[in-house]
Structure 1
Amino acid sequence: MWHDMLALPVPVLEKVLRTAFVYALVLLIFRFTGKRSMAAMNTFDFVVLFLLSNVVQNAIIGPDDSVTGGAIGAITLIAMNAALTRWLATDDRAARLLEGTSSPIVEDGSLIPGTLRRLSIRREEMANAVRLHDGDSIDEVQTARLEPSGQLLIVLKPAARAATKGELDQIGERLAAIEQLLSRRPS
């Protein structure tokens, strides 16, 4: 029993190479199919993700179903991901190549033509993102862009921005000064 669980029917190097190849392939597929963060994933994205793990499983494990083989595959995936993450944190060119660059969506209250379709963003998603940033409509957006991480960054026009706590404090101080001046005036 222990022998079956721990014996490797596939050489360790083959296991590492299979895992590395599938990791690189899936990374490239996701890189060239669009920008979506985990928070922005819809039901269809989750279905693809779950099925994808099953589809590539045999390519990674081959004829090996041992615990040792699974551990080698898991360690390889985690090590590759850690190394890639560290590399991208220090090399801007590699980050641009592998992650892409931000994509502008809105400029001065107007959608850039064709951008929503190209980025697979529905108008409702964009309108909801504007509301989440305290805006009422796209007309109030100064700029919006989709980051390589899938995060949607929205900057409202100055007139559409909500007042900050500091601005409200300044208004309160001014009102207090006016009240003080008015209280000093003879009636």
Structure 2
Amino acid sequence: MWEAMFESGIPYAEKAVRTVLVYLSIVVLLRLAGKRELAQVNTFDLVVMLLLSNVVQNAVIGPDTSVSGAVFGAAVLAGSNALLVRAVARYPRLNKLFESAPLTLARGGRYDMSAVRRVGLRLPDLAVAIRKQGGDHVSETSSVTLEPGGTLLVRLTEDDQSADKADIKELRAALKRLERRLDDTAR
């Protein structure tokens, strides 16, 4: 019983090569599928991701069902990811290959429907992103941008932005000035 848990069914070198090849293939497929796959995941995307992991499992581990084989495969996968992330950060050409440019989905309070359709996003999903970032409607935005990592960045018009500490400090100062004027006129 214990032998089967730790005896690899294939050589570790083969397992490493399999893992790296499958990892790179999935990275390329996700890149071709679009940025949305990385961060803006809806129910359909989640199902695809779960099935995708199941589909490639045997390609990564082969006939090996041992614990040590699984741990080795996981370590190779994590190491490959760490190396690729560092390489993409260091080399601009790789960055261009794996990350795309930001895409503006709305400008001046109106959606760019061709851009929205191109990335396969739904308007209700964009409306939720706008609400999460402090807006009520696309008309309150100066721009909505899909960033390379899949994040939706919403920039609200100046009048629709939330108050910050500086705004509150300015209001307090104005209130104090008004109170002083009222006090002065009451005397």
TM-score by structure 1 length? 0.91
Conserved? CA contact 2:143–2:154, under 8 Å: yes
Name the SS of the counterpart of 1:153 in structure 2.
strand
Partners in 2 of 1:5 and 1:186 — Cα distance? Answer: 88
Partners in 1 of 2:73 and 2:111 — Cα distance? Answer: 45
Does residue 141 of structure 1 match 2:141? Answer: yes
Conserved? CA contact 1:37–1:149, under 8 Å: no
Identity among equivalent pairs (%): 37
One-letter identity of the residue aligned with 2:167: E
Conserved? CA contact 1:37–1:151, under 8 Å: no
Alignment of 1:1-187 (within 5 A): 1-36=1-36, 40-185=40-185
Partners in 2 of 1:82 and 1:122 — Cα distance? Answer: 32
Moved more, 73-82 or 62-71: 62-71
Conserved? CA contact 2:8–2:64, under 8 Å: yes
One-letter identity of the residue aligned with 1:107: R
Residue-pair matches, total: 187
Q: How big is the shift at 1:38?
A: 6.0
One-letter identity of the residue aligned with 2:143: T
One-letter identity of the residue aligned with 1:128: V
One-letter identity of the residue aligned with 2:61: I
1:117-165 C-alpha deviation (Å, 9 max, x unpaired): 1111111111222222222221221111001211100101112212223
Conserved? CA contact 1:108–1:143, under 8 Å: yes
Partners in 2 of 1:37 and 1:152 — Cα distance? Answer: 13
Aligned CA distance change for structure 1 residues 71 and 134 (closer, same or farther; 3 Å): closer
Q: How big is the shift at 1:49?
A: 1.4
RMSD: 1.8
Aligned CA distance change for structure 1 residues 126 and 9 (closer, same or farther; 3 Å): closer
Partners in 2 of 1:161 and 1:170 — Cα distance? Answer: 16
Conserved? CA contact 1:105–1:144, under 8 Å: yes
One-letter identity of the residue aligned with 1:10: I
One-letter identity of the residue aligned with 1:91: Y
**Mind listing any 5+ residue stretches in structure 1 that lack a counterpart?**
none
Moved more, 83-92 or 34-43: 34-43
